[in-house]
Amino acid sequence: MPQETIRSLAGRVAIVTGGSAGIGRLTAVALAHRGASVAVVGQNSERLAGACGEIRAAAATDSIALALDVRCESDMAAMAAQTIERFGRIDILVHSAGVLRPMGSGLKRIDQTSVAEWDHVVSTNLTGTFLANRAVLPQMIRQRSGDIVNLSSKSGRRGLAFDGPYCASKFGVVGLTEAIAEEVKSYGVRVQSLLPGMFLTGVWSQAGPLPAPAQLPPAERVAEMIVHMISLPPDTTLGSTIIEPSASQAETGWRGAR
């Protein structure tokens, strides 16, 4: 008999960082639809409660809201501990928490970028990835099973003007993910990264004066891809995968801005 090509997520336990909004929230709901229990992690308690309410309304699975900061080592340790206390295990981590630039900082060349602005982006996007992965890996290694998907960006393959800290952090996420994948694959833990291009997400609220391109695909496309990566059979990995709109957005909105 041929083996199943897509694994069921029913009964699995997932943590989604950045889960109160955007791609993270969509992914948390999508995982719940597939039968997973979900720990939703973010910093805004009100939005976290809303995400858990959406999960309860859409799926018959359990969820918890964890108001924690991915930049904080003790918070990430608490994330893993509270998930294990509630559900007994950790099967999935989707690390979606990230920031394009500090709110209100505007477009800046590297020589105009302050150390505080650099640290804010890198600590959220790269150090946060390290801390979140480090927190869940001991449990996954003990179980000898687990799936991690770290959200990078297409800017993790190509540097863009005025987004030096973001690009550097997202390049780092790809390298870190690939290193972790090599370290833990013998324990049955699969670690992959996804590099979204331009989709209609809340990141455009951080884009300063640049307009969003017209007719961007919805962020649900990215969430669907994350679920697919997790659902692949354990003998298959997509590594560091770019997902982007098929239609060209050249000379419109963000790409055409001067």
> What's the CA gap between 158 and 154, in Å, rounded?
7
Contact 47, 76 (CB under 8 A): no
Sheet holding 13-17, edge to edge: 63-67, 37-42, 13-17, 92-95, 146-151, 189-196, 240-243
Tokens encoding 56: 């309860």
Q: Which residues are catalytic?
A: 166
- DSSP per-residue codes, 66-130: EE--TT-HHHHHHHHHHHHHHHS---EEEE----SS-TT-----GGG--HHHHHHHHIIIIIHHH
| Beta carbons within 10 angstroms of residue 19's beta carbon | 32
Contact 9, 35 (CB under 8 A): yes
> What's the CA gap between 236 and 229, in Å, rounded?
9
Q: Is 159 helix (H, G, I), strand (E, B) or coil?
A: coil
Please tell me the number of Cα atoms within 13 Å of 227 on its side-chain side. 23
